[in-house]
A and B are shown apart, each in its own frame.
Chain A
Amino acid sequence: MVLDGNDATTMNNLEKHAPRFVVILCVDDDREALDLLIRDVDGFCRGLISVERLDSAEDTMVRAEELAELDALVPLVIADHNLQGASGADLLITLHGHPHFLRTRKVLLSGSSELDAINQALQVGALNGCMSKPWTNEYLDDMLSLQLTEYFIANAPDRIADVSTLLDITKVTRALAESEHERHLLDRRLMTVQRSFLSSIDVKDEDVEEAMIACIDRSLNKPPRATIPAGSTLFREGDRLNYIWILLSGQVQLSRVVDRKETIFHARTVGRVVGLLSLSLGRASHFDCRTQTEVTFIKLSLHDLDRALRQDPMLSVHFVTVLLRSLSRRNSRAVELQLEVNALSRTIARERDHLEKALDGVKRAQKLLVEREKMATLGQLVAGVAHELNNPVAAIRRCSDFLVEDIRMLGEGHPDGATMIDILKRSFEAAPLSTRAQRSCRKDLAAALGDEDLAKELVEIGILDRVTYEDHFHGLDEMAVRPRLEKLKHYYQLSSSIRNIRTCAERIQALVKSLRSYSQSDAEFTSEVDLHESLEDTILLFEHDLRGISVEKQYGDLPRIACNTGEIHQVWTNLLSNAIQAMGGKGHLRITTDQIDTGHIRTRITDNGPGIAPDNVERIFEINYTTRRGRADFGLGIGLPICRNIIQRHHGTLKVESQPGQTCFSVVLPVDQRKGELADEQ
């Protein structure tokens, strides 16, 4: 440590003349890129170092001459490689050839990798770094910090204090320690001292410390000791220090407030000398320094220290030894701290992972709960609505029957009663004709009667052929045909309206029934059910819809099982209805039953429809999911969820496998419900 001034302030200003102008040059011919670069570099330098913008190689060289003339300190030049008419690498090589800029750090900025140019610049040693566009702030800051640190340590250590906040302080400290070390080794005045210094390596800490204190006492005529109690503050973070403290006994701690929490960085690793680093760097203290125990110390101003060092060369040795040892202890403490931080980070990362997983689980559970809650609410709502609908719809259904009865009764006394009742019966019994069939009948009848309009009206009231026509219009002259037709039309419309009311009421009833069973859970079980019978019952119901479909049955030998027949019936109904819909009314349906093991029987319903898209396979069991847009035949798209519910209540499984041209719904039921229950619990 060199202290050649008489006053502490000389530490901050070792220059004999006015401080040299410090400037970083940024060169780019692209205005926008240059703006960006200037902004970022200036942002980093925070006014501690000037930043100048140059937009061509020529201008840069002109400015370089001026700066050389001014003897300005140019720690760094950043040049874009692609300059108009010149390459940035060439510019840096030229600058490198200028004695004033030999030590200047030079960084090449390139948009694309131009290896040749970079290589060339590297080979003549004109390049200290490369940076590619676009850069990140982090990258730029690291680069600037590195380059400036290297430059100032090597070329302008006296200016480090001015720009210390921009530099890599670990490096500076190390370099400083090294340079101090070197200076001492090289100091001729301390040739003798050097030997004792080297020999002090083997000496114990306490001995060196005592030797140092003895030297100080000798040189300064035993300076006064002070004793302060535990918990006193020697200095605070951010204080500018004018003294050093040499501890004789007791313990101090160096701490900082990090995130509003006091963190102790050094305690045992503080060493005997406190405050020297900040003092020598002319910088505000990094730490708070407080006493942990009662502490006795000697407080020296720089002036005192300087005096002592000059009076006794041996003090330098002891002093530096003590300092180096404490620095090295602090350094290893820093390493330890870093290791602790790393370990903590790992632990934290692990815990964060755990937490994330746990959070995921909670979210999933919550979603499930919400879904379940929604379903429960929906179920109550549906059951409520179904119940409310049930009465009016039952009344409508009954009324349609009453109307039929009344018409029959009226018909008996009516002169035209026989015809009326005949048309009523026909309307009720005949399956509705498709529009296509209607048109075809109309054509035939028109041909037979030679009157297209008459044929149309006849077909509309269900008179489809000449024979029926003759039945109704036999013997009527031409003038009487039309009034008769009008009358028959009203009979027919009356009948078909009643029929439509009844059909629609039945559909609503079926819908209500399937809605109600959706929320039903305490259904009754019947034992000894033959599944084949229930399948056959269902198939019978679908006779009408199965006309275009070939049905293949492969029934295995099944034991009778206990189940809720109504519910199982509903499952078959849904599965068959789905299959028929999927095949569009034409195709091949296979129904297979078998016993897969002693405890389970399986029913498979396979259609050769287009299949379910893989993305949709799981969704078909969700409420409100239906591939038939808007159709509400079997419960508003809740058919399959209902089925799954029912099968689950039977402790069975409902699965689907689908590929283009083949979709198979497979229902597995336990033979014995009690065993099924046990299996579910396990």
Chain B
Amino acid sequence: MSNRIVILCVEDEPEVRDSIIRDLQPFAGVFRIEAAEDVADARHVLQECIDDGDRVGLVLCDHVLPGETGVSFLVALNHNEATKVIRRVLLTGQAGQEDTIQAVNEGGLDYYIAKPWRADTLRQVVRDQLTEFVLEEEDDLLPYVALLDSKRLLEAVSQRRSDS
């Protein structure tokens, strides 16, 4: 199975990573969920996804990471045409105001979630962002109707039909 949309979660602390991944389990049937412990690892995952014929639709990223920071990663994603379409969410408790401003201005940040997060908030944000992504990028929206924002997706489906 290929051409899946990937949710990439970048978080260095294993316990926190486990929790995020588990909170995202409802998406696991349709989406591929990947984890990376730092930015270098995240880049590997990006490449692996491309190799597998999949593509990353959402990056959920901590800011304070060993090595390169999350915001710097988001900025890099935003400056690359191929990765610009990826929805970007910062999930952190430690980004200062300056970092956050940079993430918004240069990183094209789509959403900021402060730690500690609530599972329903996290899932709602992921759902909204993925809805945006599939509306922008996917021709066939039907596989996503059940999991994502079904109202918007169905509206779009009927709109597209009447257009064509």
Which residues of A pack against B, CB within 8 Å?
432, 434-436, 438-439, 452-453, 460, 493, 496-497, 500, 503-504, 584-585, 629-631
Counting from the closest, the 4 A-B pairs by CB-CB distance are: A500-B15, A630-B94, A432-B14, A630-B64
Q: How far is the CA of A629 from the CA of B68 in the complex (A)?
A: 11
Q: Which of A439, A496, A504, A631 contacts B64 (CB 8 A)?
A: A631
Closest Cβ of chain A: how far from B28's Cβ, in Å? Answer: 9
Instruction: For B63, list chain A residues within 8 Å (CB).
Output: 630
Beta-carbon contact of A453 and B15 below 8 Å: no
Beta-carbon contact of B15 and A436 below 8 Å: no
Instruction: For A584, list chain B residues within 8 Å (CB).
Output: 66-67
Closest Cβ of chain B: how far from A330's Cβ, in Å? Answer: 71
Beta-carbon contact of B69 and A439 below 8 Å: no
Instruction: For B34, list chain A residues within 8 Å (CB).
Output: 439
Beta-carbon contact of B37 and A434 below 8 Å: yes
Beta-carbon contact of B41 and A453 below 8 Å: no
| A629: nearest chain-B partner, CB-CB | B64
Instruction: For B69, list chain A residues within 8 Å (CB).
Output: 629
| A457: nearest chain-B partner, CB-CB | B28
Beta-carbon contact of B35 and A435 below 8 Å: yes
Does residue B44 face the partner (Cβ distance < 8 Å to A)? Answer: yes
Within 8 A of A (CB), among B22-62: 22, 34-37, 41, 44-45, 48
Q: A432-B14, A453-B1, A630-B63 are in contact. List 18 more A-B contacts (CB 8 A).
A: A434-B41, A435-B35, A435-B36, A435-B37, A435-B45, A438-B35, A439-B45, A452-B1, A460-B21, A493-B22, A496-B18, A497-B18, A500-B15, A500-B18, A500-B19, A584-B66, A585-B66, A630-B94
Instruction: For B48, list chain A residues within 8 Å (CB).
Output: 439
Contact flag A504-B37 (CB < 8 Å), given A453-B1, A630-B64, A631-B64: no
Q: How far is the CA of A452 from the CA of B51 in the complex (A)?
A: 14
30 sample A-B contacts, Cβ–Cβ < 8 Å, listed by A number: A432-B14, A434-B37, A434-B41, A435-B35, A435-B36, A435-B41, A435-B45, A436-B37, A436-B41, A436-B44, A438-B35, A439-B34, A439-B44, A439-B48, A453-B1, A493-B22, A496-B18, A497-B18, A500-B14, A500-B15, A500-B18, A500-B19, A503-B15, A584-B67, A585-B66, A629-B64, A629-B69, A630-B63, A630-B94, A631-B64
Q: How far is the CA of A104 from the CA of B69 in the complex (A)?
A: 77
Q: How far is the CA of A500 from the CA of B11 in the complex (A)?
A: 15
Instruction: For A497, list chain B residues within 8 Å (CB).
Output: 18
| B15: nearest chain-A partner, CB-CB | A500
Closest Cβ of chain A: how far from B92's Cβ, in Å? Answer: 9
Interface centre among B14, B21, B48, B94 (most CB of A within 10 A): B14
Instruction: For B15, list chain A residues within 8 Å (CB).
Output: 500, 503-504
Instruction: For B21, list chain A residues within 8 Å (CB).
Output: 460
Q: How far is the CA of A144 from the CA of B144 in the complex (A)?
A: 90
Q: How far is the CA of A496 from the CA of B19 in the complex (A)?
A: 10
Q: How far is the CA of A453 from the CA of B41 in the complex (A)?
A: 21
Q: How far is the CA of A288 from the CA of B14 in the complex (A)?
A: 92
Summed over the interface, the residue pairs from A and B with CB atoms below 8 Å come to a total of: 39
Instruction: For A630, list chain B residues within 8 Å (CB).
Output: 63-64, 94
Which residues of B pack against A, CB within 8 Å?
1, 14-15, 17-19, 21-22, 34-37, 41, 44-45, 48, 63-64, 66-67, 69, 94
Instruction: For A504, list chain B residues within 8 Å (CB).
Output: 15
Closest Cβ of chain B: how far from A397's Cβ, in Å? Answer: 14
Closest Cβ of chain B: how far from A124's Cβ, in Å? Answer: 69
Interface centre among A432, A435, A500 (most CB of B within 10 A): A435
Instruction: For B44, list chain A residues within 8 Å (CB).
Output: 436, 439
Q: How far is the CA of A453 from the CA of B1 in the complex (A)?
A: 9
Q: How far is the CA of A438 from the CA of B21 in the complex (A)?
A: 14
Instruction: For B22, list chain A residues within 8 Å (CB).
Output: 493
Closest Cβ of chain B: how far from A488's Cβ, in Å? Answer: 15
Q: How far is the CA of A504 from the CA of B69 in the complex (A)?
A: 23
Instruction: For A500, list chain B residues within 8 Å (CB).
Output: 14-15, 18-19
Instruction: For A493, list chain B residues within 8 Å (CB).
Output: 22
Q: How far is the CA of A454 from the CA of B14 in the complex (A)?
A: 22
Closest Cβ of chain A: how far from B40's Cβ, in Å? Answer: 9
Closest Cβ of chain A: how far from B64's Cβ, in Å? Answer: 4
Instruction: For B41, list chain A residues within 8 Å (CB).
Output: 434-436
Q: How far is the CA of A631 from the CA of B93 in the complex (A)?
A: 11
Q: How far is the CA of A366 from the CA of B18 in the complex (A)?
A: 50
| B52: nearest chain-A partner, CB-CB | A452
Closest Cβ of chain A: how far from B12's Cβ, in Å? Answer: 9
Q: How far is the CA of A537 from the CA of B86 in the complex (A)?
A: 48
Closest Cβ of chain B: how far from A545's Cβ, in Å? Answer: 12
Closest Cβ of chain B: how far from A437's Cβ, in Å? Answer: 10
Q: How far is the CA of A557 from the CA of B140 in the complex (A)?
A: 76
Q: How far is the CA of A434 from the CA of B36 in the complex (A)?
A: 8
Closest Cβ of chain B: how far from A137's Cβ, in Å? Answer: 46
Instruction: For B19, list chain A residues within 8 Å (CB).
Output: 500
Q: How far is the CA of A585 from the CA of B48 in the complex (A)?
A: 26
Closest Cβ of chain A: how far from B71's Cβ, in Å? Answer: 11
Q: How far is the CA of A452 from the CA of B18 in the complex (A)?
A: 21
Q: How far is the CA of A432 from the CA of B17 in the complex (A)?
A: 11
Q: How far is the CA of A460 from the CA of B36 in the complex (A)?
A: 14
Q: How far is the CA of A453 from the CA of B67 in the complex (A)?
A: 31
Closest Cβ of chain B: how far from A638's Cβ, in Å? Answer: 16
Q: How far is the CA of A54 from the CA of B69 in the complex (A)?
A: 69
Q: How far is the CA of A460 from the CA of B66 in the complex (A)?
A: 23
Closest Cβ of chain A: how far from B72's Cβ, in Å? Answer: 11
Instruction: For A453, list chain B residues within 8 Å (CB).
Output: 1
| B17: nearest chain-A partner, CB-CB | A435
Closest Cβ of chain A: how far from B162's Cβ, in Å? Answer: 37
| A504: nearest chain-B partner, CB-CB | B15
Closest Cβ of chain B: how far from A660's Cβ, in Å? Answer: 19
Closest Cβ of chain A: how far from B107's Cβ, in Å? Answer: 16
Instruction: For B66, list chain A residues within 8 Å (CB).
Output: 584-585
Q: How far is the CA of A493 from the CA of B19 in the complex (A)?
A: 10
Closest Cβ of chain A: how far from B99's Cβ, in Å? Answer: 9
Closest Cβ of chain B: how far from A264's Cβ, in Å? Answer: 66
Q: How far is the CA of A504 from the CA of B18 in the complex (A)?
A: 12
Instruction: For B1, list chain A residues within 8 Å (CB).
Output: 452-453
Q: How far is the CA of A432 from the CA of B16 in the complex (A)?
A: 12
Instruction: For B35, list chain A residues within 8 Å (CB).
Output: 435, 438
| B12: nearest chain-A partner, CB-CB | A435
Closest Cβ of chain B: how far from A190's Cβ, in Å? Answer: 91
Instruction: For A439, list chain B residues within 8 Å (CB).
Output: 34, 44-45, 48
| B64: nearest chain-A partner, CB-CB | A630
Q: How far is the CA of A631 from the CA of B94 in the complex (A)?
A: 9
| A501: nearest chain-B partner, CB-CB | B15
Closest Cβ of chain B: how far from A434's Cβ, in Å? Answer: 6
Instruction: For B18, list chain A residues within 8 Å (CB).
Output: 496-497, 500
Closest Cβ of chain A: how far from B155's Cβ, in Å? Answer: 32
Q: How far is the CA of A631 from the CA of B19 in the complex (A)?
A: 20
Instruction: For A452, list chain B residues within 8 Å (CB).
Output: 1
Instruction: For B36, list chain A residues within 8 Å (CB).
Output: 435
Q: How far is the CA of A457 from the CA of B50 in the complex (A)?
A: 21
Instruction: For A460, list chain B residues within 8 Å (CB).
Output: 21
Q: How far is the CA of A434 from the CA of B45 in the complex (A)?
A: 13
Q: How far is the CA of A349 from the CA of B116 in the complex (A)?
A: 61
Closest Cβ of chain B: how far from A412's Cβ, in Å? Answer: 27
Interface centre among B1, B15, B66 (most CB of A within 10 A): B15
| B42: nearest chain-A partner, CB-CB | A435
Closest Cβ of chain B: how far from A402's Cβ, in Å? Answer: 19
Q: How far is the CA of A493 from the CA of B69 in the complex (A)?
A: 29
Instruction: For B37, list chain A residues within 8 Å (CB).
Output: 434-436
| A581: nearest chain-B partner, CB-CB | B66
Q: How far is the CA of A496 from the CA of B14 in the complex (A)?
A: 10
